[in-house]
Structure 1
Amino acid sequence: MGILAASAAVVAGLATAPTAPAVDGGARAVSAPHPLFHLPFPCGETWRAYTHTGHAYPDAQLDFGQGSPPDGRQVVAARAGTVAENGVYGDGSSYLVLDHGDGWSTRYVHMRTASMARTGSVVRSGDPIGEVGDVGSAGQFHLHFEQRHDGVPVPIRFDDEPVTYKYFPEYVTLVSGNCGGEPSEPEPVAPPEPAPQPPAPEPVAPPRPADDQVQDARPPAPAAPLPAHRPTSAPEPDVPSGAGAGGDTAPPAAPARPALDHLLGQRDAYRFTPTMPEFARPWEGTEG
């Protein structure tokens, strides 16, 4: 009887102790092919992964921590995608959702709100999307991570391998292979370069006209204006007799030159003048 009682107690204890669910025995079966996901941390980093009974889907959700609080450690995209939404839930937990297409998405919880990538951002595997924090889990710095299909968490696979779930405080140690260049993600294609354009034709000068047709294109110069009429000599100013401009007496006028007939009438007066020049002598002895 004692042995039976002890056996019953062991069975009861096993029934109440949490056990890790079977791999791929998750919350829902997924018929769609599972994409290639990586750890949400930079290449080569080592992290502890575990689940706990407080998870709504303990076989499809993981928490990541390290031996020391990983406050501010970088979180990267597990796969290329687009930031579909981010924000803070009613319980105070921050969250970010990456859409990977074909109904697949990943969710990241408790990151620092100021570090989260903006909605609409397009990222590739390994691109930073936030930092580890304790938003909604004060003092407990860790990253809550999910892989979802049609909005429902599914058993997680990294590098195309299933994860072995362990309940906290136990954990599994995982090394990130998120080093970029996975074959399932096509490389971005650069836009084609525009075709080279032919050089513009050189401008052609118009033909020069024949010499007899050349015309001066300049407008004719305007004719110079005719000068105003000016008198040939200015009239003498009227000066009062006996006074000049300065008050002095005006000089006497020169005697008028005698008329020719007067001089001829006086020719006899010059016939015998001793001072008469030689050319006056032909009149000697002649009359009038």
Structure 2
Amino acid sequence: RITVRRSRRRMPSAAEPTHSALSYDKWKTIDASDDDDGGHESQPLLPSRKEHAQVEADTEMYERYKALFKTHLKGKFSLALRKVLARFIAVQHRGEEKSNIYRYSEIIGLVTQRSAELIYNDDAVPALCELHKKIVNSSPGTDKQALDAAKEDIQPVMEALNTLVAVRQHPPATSLFEGLCHPRMSDETLKLYEKYERREFAKKAMMAHIFGDDTYTSVEQENEAVEKRRIGQRPTFCGVDREIIEIVAVLLAVALGLLGFLWWYLRGRIGAVNEGP
């Protein structure tokens, strides 16, 4: 149970500062017990501007995924990492929205405070991939209700994986979300936004986890080589793409036609003036 104490604050005078520096120290209290079945566990105070319903939803989701990590991956990954990842899944969850980008402040806060586990720990991404795989494999293939429940559990894991891989590949997190919040700043940010929203970071991470990094890298390199060959086999003339030549030829024809019409019009006008009274 989370107890929130409210205090009455007096209004600051004109000589006093009206705000304090942003601090992520609250994340240091994240679930510090050292066993899965421990007693009372301290919880971080989430941002005060978050609605109470959101705080409760995040806490419930955290407990849910902490339990799923324990069920499927106890002994394979450290307890500390499992707890941080469970919190990350809860903090980044998009809820009823189409994207989790609106939760950027909480994502950045947790990533900044727990970078040792989320950014620099090589087990963070494999742990999310493995949890995804375990949930899929443990769901019965015929029970529709169980399958629907598994899908609900898988979606936040996939979203968290997508966000975590994006943050690790495009540091710092502040710059990443600045681009995601303003995708039309440049062609590069727009491509990054589209890739993020399609969850390509998560999909590629899952493929690499299932097939192995070496196999996945080989497939990627082969696909790139095929694409280059396909582009190289397009018809050319003197080293220039034939389609480009055709477009230029059409534009030149249109331009010449307009010049011809202009010459005919001006010539007629000049003749009319010369033949005047």
The alignment's TM-score, normalised by the length of structure 1, stands at 0.22
Kindly indicate which of the two structures has a greater share of residues assigned to helix: 2
> Which structure has the larger Rg?
1
Kindly indicate which of the two structures has a greater share of residues assigned to strand: 1
Question: RCO greater where, 1 or 2, for CA within 8 Å and sep 6 or more?
Answer: 1
The alignment's TM-score, normalised by the length of structure 2, stands at 0.22
